[in-house]
Structure 1
Amino acid sequence: MRLFSQLSWYFLREWRRYLGAVSLLIVIAILQLLPPKIVGIIVDGVTLHRLSAGSIMMWIGIMLVTALVVYLLRYVWRVLLFGASYQLAVELREDFYRQLSRQHPEFYLRHRTGDLIARATNDVDRVVFAAGEGVLTLVDSLVMGCAVLIVMSTQISWQLTLLALVPMPVMALMIKRYGTQLHQRFKLAQGAFSSLNDQAQESLTSIRMVKAFGLEDHQSRQFAAIAADAGEKNLRVARVDARFDPTIYIAIGLSNLLAVGGGSWLVWHQQMTLGQLTSFVMYLGLMIWPMLALAWMFNIVERGSAAWSRIRSLLSEAPAVADGSKILPEGRGVLQVAIREFSYPGNAQPALRNLNFNLRPGQMLGLCGPTGAGKSTLLSLIQRHFDISQGDIRYHGIPLTQLRIDSWRGRLAVVNQTPFLFSDTVANNIALGRPGASRDEIERAAKLASVHEDILRLPQGYETEVGERGVMLSGGQKQRISIARALLLNAEILILDDALSAVDGRTEHQILHNLRRWGQGRTVIISAHRLSALTEASEILVMQHGVVAQRGKHNALLQQKGWYSDMYRYQQLEAALSEDEDSRSSEEKQHG
């Protein structure tokens, strides 16, 4: 029952719908009391020869009209009640999505995708079902049950009513016990469903790798084990669920036995008429639904309560990065980075130390270094995915922590290491940040990213559907479409996080040439493993173990002994050998 108090904010806001539905339920409950009373009148009238055929037909007509009115009222209250509960589903999912969009990478380190999907779908459905069907059963069972009890005790016999209700307290205690067990077991079952979702999502997104390594049987066994665990936990829920109905039917059966036995004794001693006993048994039959509804309500509400606790725990989680209040002034500014030390949450080892530089509009900063040197960490801090405890990053002289996140990120265009394309057309993927962009603007961005010609060769050109995650495109095409998407934004700061790794040297040279022309007056930050991408940078930071090991321009770094000159010569030699091998293979093809 805690769920109803937890959702009271919604019930109070939608009080008109709920009050209307509850009022109609009360009217329906009163109308349903008429048929047993009328049947009792007809039975006594027939046995005592008090009613004519016309009177009997009149009473039957009244019952038919009552049934028709009840039917119409049930239709109206269902529209009112379930319309309100479906609106709750919309709002909860909107809040859920808004919460996910506010969170930062640290949040997604702790929550897996399958679990989040399960909470947004299955858990929300359970809460909504409780807000609709749960409210219905609660009100219907209370109103109908109380009305029937009042009529039985006041209009027929309070002694027989008490006798018939003897099994009910025992039944109520058993249902309460089952409800507590159901809450705990259903929460575990929902957790198992989340794990099943996780496994299914990971298996589907990595299906190419699974097939490449021949892991189909291994993944199938793993999935089967998780599915079996989820099935076992759901079976434990079903075992508790299965106890509700037998308990209720036994209690109702005992009540009927006591009612018929006690009522027969009263009829025998002429303290009750046969018609009254018939009405009493029919009223007792009306008690079956309230009793079943009460048990069903406990079932629904306990499931909804377990689901709500999972949803609320996520909705109440504040973002790791707090939003600021200041808005950036118009125009381009200087990006100032002064990081004394930064460590990831839960990790004592510093990821960055003593990192300082200023980047003016029109300048290009190059980042390089071995894997794990801290390049992507620096770019994450610039995007404000994490906050810095020792040091700060400023733009226009304002610390990023004081800025509104949307104001700051509106100045950035980012291409990450792993490009992500939506299951949509090429044009819509490029225009993701500017949905209203014209076709000319989209094509101009594609030309700057050297992907225009590739797009024209696709079956429907810019209207070609790229499939889930761009499955029908090569890695280089996906990277260049992501670059075109970023260039279309015309942002002040462009960040390329190893975004040219999947393109060949000639295409890389063309893209960098276009970027120099496009980036006049704009700030560009390029992180790259292939050092040829950094030759035109205003300054290059060579990072190792989270610190700047070398810094300077390309030619100056080549003159210094260290990682940069060694790696550049190695890459040049590798490129020369690759070209020599390509030319030799082409000659063999010509002679062959």
Structure 2
Amino acid sequence: MSIFSKLMWFFKANKRLYILGLSFLLLTEISQMVSPALIGRFTDILVAREVTSQNLLIYGGGILLFSILMYGFRYAWITHIFQGSALLERTLRQQLFDHYMQMDTTFYQRRRTGDLMAHATNDLSAIQRVASGGVLMLVDSIVIIIFTVISMAFVVDWRLTLIGVLPLPLLAWGVRYLSPKIRRAFTASQEAFSRLSNKSQESIAGIKAIKTLGQEQQDVASFTSEVQNTIAINKKVARIDSMFGPMATLVMTISYVVMVTYGGSLVTNQTITIGQLVSFSTYLGLLVWPMFGLGQLFNVLERGNASYMRVQEILAEKSAIIEDESGRETLAHGDVTINIDEFKYPDDETTTALSDVHLTVKAGETLGLVGRVGAGKTTLIKLLLRQFDDYQGNITVGGFDIKQYKLKAYLKAIGYVAQENFLFSTTVLDNIRFADLTKTREEVEAAAKKAAFHDDVLGFPAGYETEVGEHGVSLSGGQKQRLAIARALIVDPEILILDDALSAVDARTEKQILGALKAERQDKTTIIAAHRISSVMNADEIIVFDDGQIKERGTHAELLALNGWYAHMYAQQQLATQLDEQLSAKEENNA
């Protein structure tokens, strides 16, 4: 029953709805108690052969009247109770979704997508059933039992009632015995569902890689193993849960045996009439539902309790990115100054990811970041994007620490394009203007032209209305990158960050895009991280990272003069470009 105390905040907030629902439930049970008494009375009249048309009208009409009343009251309480459960589901779903939107990168590194989806679907449905079926079965069962026992005692005989309900405590003992077992089983079941959901999500998202590598059979085998494990866990749940039904049946059977033996003797001794025994049998029949209802209640509450604890565990997690509620609301702009003394990732406190990184990018300038894989380029960008705040030092924009800005004011000033970009299952038009859906078709086309993407779009079946498919499946790697660049440019950000965002485009297109950026962003800051030197060679300053530190810095000409890593990498790339050009020319001549 602890789940009800955990949800008391909701029941208090919607007490009017539940008070009305439970009031109609009470009226339903009162109406239900009248019919067995009328049936017993009519049976006595029938046995005494005193039936008249008036009696038929009175008792038949009475039973019909209270049945109609019961129908109306039942409809009213069901609509109120289930309306409340829908409100609970909506409230928790909104809380969970808002929480997902507020959590930081570390949270999503620790939590798998399938698990988060399971919390938002299966777990919330289980909790919702507590506020509907759980409340229904709890109150309905208790009220029916109380009203029925009272009616049996007053309408029939208190001695028969007392002996008839004596087996019921056996049911309470059974519930107490099974409760901890089924709670553990339900928790394991929900966790198994999360694992299965995550496996399904990963397989569907990675279907291209699975097919390309010929791993269909292995993935099917892995999925089958997960399914079998889930089935085995749910079988255990079913075995424990199924013990309650036979237990309730046994208890009710004992009560019927008591009724037949002891009740029959009372009729023989003329302590009660046959009609009263019929009424008692009818009342006893009314107890069948509460007995099984308690079994279902037991199931719903334990499953809801396990799910609620899982959801609360998620909601209890706090983001490491704390927004200053009194922070600056004006859009961030101005010089970008980076002073990072040291930064370590939260999940790896032994390795220093960045150290002694000090630089300034004036508004209107372009900064280039280069270095081998894992050198620290993307880490620095993550700090600029406030994906991590726990570092020694500070980053300022326009003279203000980025932590002093409200997240909306700061992040709205940044246009970010990663190497791998997420595209939504909608049109090219809406993907480009995703950050601001009020942008016109003309503005979208202008952004696409700057990103050298407009001509590609014109070649699509429906132009800008072409659906890109899930994750942009219908586009090539280069088209995805250029669409993402257009999406960043359409909001004209104060700070544009390209994180190896030109890796999938050819040299000619790269030159075209960089030329457009230089012409359009004379007064805006641009930061380009790249592996290809050609992407950054025209930057105002180029930083060479190695092991999280600045190893070289300067303009393209200055770095070439140093004859270090940058100069060697540039020479290698130039040689590779020349070889490619010679090979292409040879193929054209042969053709």
Contact kept in structure 1, 2:37 and 2:155, CA below 8 Å? no
Q: Tell me, what secondary structure is at the counterpart of 1:33?
A: helix
AA of the residue aligned to 2:410:
W
Q: 1:139 corresponds to which residue?
A: 139
Among 441, 462, 470, the residue aligned to 1:468: 470
Contact kept in structure 2, 1:107 and 1:320, CA below 8 Å? no
Q: What is the distance in 1 between the residues matched to 2:330 and 2:460?
A: 42
Deviation at 1:476, TM superposition (A): 0.1
Among 487, 492, 495, the residue aligned to 1:493: 495
1:57 aligns with 2:57: yes
Q: Deviations over 1:264-303 (max 9, x none)?
A: 1111111111111111111111111111111211110110
In angstroms, what is the RMSD of aligned CA positions? 1.1
Contact kept in structure 1, 2:89 and 2:125, CA below 8 Å? yes
Q: What is the distance in 1 between the residues matched to 2:156 and 2:548?
A: 87
1:529 aligns with 2:531: yes
Contact kept in structure 2, 1:381 and 1:388, CA below 8 Å? no
Q: Deviations over 1:445-497 (max 9, x none)?
A: 00000000000000000000000000010000000000000001111101111
Contact kept in structure 2, 1:328 and 1:396, CA below 8 Å? no
Q: 2:423 corresponds to which residue?
A: 421
Which sits farther off after the overlay, 270-279 or 319-328? 319-328
Q: What is the distance in 2 between the residues matched to 1:286 and 1:81?
A: 22
Among 371, 379, 399, the residue aligned to 2:381: 379
Contact kept in structure 2, 1:189 and 1:237, CA below 8 Å? yes
Among 548, 551, 560, the residue aligned to 1:549: 551
Q: What is the distance in 2 between the residues matched to 1:188 and 1:71?
A: 40
Deviation at 1:332, TM superposition (A): 2.6
Deviation at 1:155, TM superposition (A): 2.9
1:482 aligns with 2:450: no
Deviation at 1:177, TM superposition (A): 2.1
Deviation at 1:331, TM superposition (A): 6.7
Q: Deviations over 1:298-320 (max 9, x none)?
A: 11011001011111110111112
Q: 2:4 corresponds to which residue?
A: 4
Q: What is the distance in 2 between the residues matched to 1:210 and 1:557?
A: 43
Q: What is the distance in 2 between the residues matched to 1:56 and 1:521?
A: 95
Among 394, 401, 410, the residue aligned to 1:399: 401
Q: 1:516 corresponds to which residue?
A: 518
Q: How does 1:25-104 map to 2 (within 5 A)?
A: 25-104=25-104
Q: Tell me, what secondary structure is at the counterpart of 1:582?
A: helix
Among 503, 506, 516, the residue aligned to 2:505: 503
Deviation at 1:77, TM superposition (A): 1.9
Deviation at 1:91, TM superposition (A): 1.7
AA of the residue aligned to 1:471:
V
Q: What is the distance in 1 between the residues matched to 2:143 and 2:555?
A: 82
Q: 2:244 corresponds to which residue?
A: 244
Q: Deviations over 1:351-404 (max 9, x none)?
A: 000000111110111000000001110000001100133111112222222322
Contact kept in structure 1, 2:331 and 2:413, CA below 8 Å? no
Deviation at 1:330, TM superposition (A): 5.3
Q: What is the distance in 2 between the residues matched to 1:332 and 1:274?
A: 91
Q: What is the distance in 2 between the residues matched to 1:26 and 1:9?
A: 23
Q: What is the distance in 1 between the residues matched to 2:511 and 2:391?
A: 39
Q: What is the distance in 1 between the residues matched to 2:338 and 2:35?
A: 81
Q: 1:339 corresponds to which residue?
A: 340
Q: What is the distance in 2 between the residues matched to 1:302 and 1:154?
A: 36
Q: What is the distance in 1 between the residues matched to 2:223 and 2:2?
A: 35
Q: 2:448 corresponds to which residue?
A: 446
Q: Tell me, what secondary structure is at the counterpart of 1:210?
A: helix
1:279 aligns with 2:273: no
Q: Deviations over 1:129-154 (max 9, x none)?
A: 11111000111011111101111123
Q: Tell me, what secondary structure is at the counterpart of 2:127?
A: helix
Q: 1:583 corresponds to which residue?
A: 585
AA of the residue aligned to 1:357:
L
Q: What is the distance in 2 between the residues matched to 1:320 and 1:291?
A: 49
Q: Tell me, what secondary structure is at the counterpart of 1:189?
A: helix
Which sits farther off after the overlay, 36-45 or 75-84? 75-84
Contact kept in structure 2, 1:339 and 1:388, CA below 8 Å? no
Q: Deviations over 1:318-365 (max 9, x none)?
A: 112111131154573221111000000131210000000111110111
Contact kept in structure 1, 2:372 and 2:546, CA below 8 Å? yes
Q: What is the distance in 2 between the residues matched to 1:272 and 1:460?
A: 85
Q: Tell me, what secondary structure is at the counterpart of 1:49?
A: coil
Q: What is the distance in 2 between the residues matched to 1:351 and 1:403?
A: 25
Q: Tell me, what secondary structure is at the counterpart of 2:340?
A: strand
AA of the residue aligned to 1:299:
N
Contact kept in structure 1, 2:332 and 2:397, CA below 8 Å? no
Q: How does 1:227-238 map to 2 (within 5 A)?
A: 227-238=227-238
Q: What is the distance in 2 between the residues matched to 1:110 and 1:328?
A: 31
Q: What is the distance in 1 between the residues matched to 2:407 and 2:398?
A: 15
Contact kept in structure 2, 1:260 and 1:281, CA below 8 Å? no
Contact kept in structure 2, 1:104 and 1:385, CA below 8 Å? yes
Q: Tell me, what secondary structure is at the counterpart of 2:242?
A: helix
Q: 1:193 corresponds to which residue?
A: 193
1:370 aligns with 2:372: yes
Q: What is the distance in 1 between the residues matched to 2:424 and 2:216?
A: 26
Q: What is the distance in 1 between the residues matched to 2:161 and 2:390?
A: 72
Contact kept in structure 1, 2:331 and 2:409, CA below 8 Å? no
Which sits farther off after the overlay, 289-298 or 528-537? 289-298
Q: 1:318 corresponds to which residue?
A: 318
Contact kept in structure 2, 1:333 and 1:361, CA below 8 Å? yes
Q: What is the distance in 2 between the residues matched to 1:449 and 1:57?
A: 86
Q: Deviations over 1:186-237 (max 9, x none)?
A: 1111111111111111111111111111100111111111111111111111
Contact kept in structure 1, 2:328 and 2:406, CA below 8 Å? yes
Contact kept in structure 2, 1:14 and 1:84, CA below 8 Å? yes
Q: What is the distance in 2 between the residues matched to 1:359 and 1:180?
A: 61
Q: Which runs of 5+ in 2 are unaligned?
A: none
Contact kept in structure 1, 2:544 and 2:553, CA below 8 Å? yes
AA of the residue aligned to 1:262:
Y
Q: Deviations over 1:221-261 (max 9, x none)?
A: 11111111111111111111111111001100101111221
Q: What is the distance in 2 between the residues matched to 1:148 and 1:559?
A: 97
Q: How does 1:292-307 map to 2 (within 5 A)?
A: 292-307=292-307
Q: 2:262 corresponds to which residue?
A: 262
Q: Percent identity?
A: 39
Q: What is the distance in 2 between the residues matched to 1:436 and 1:517?
A: 25
Q: Deviations over 1:523-552 (max 9, x none)?
A: 111000001010111111100011001001
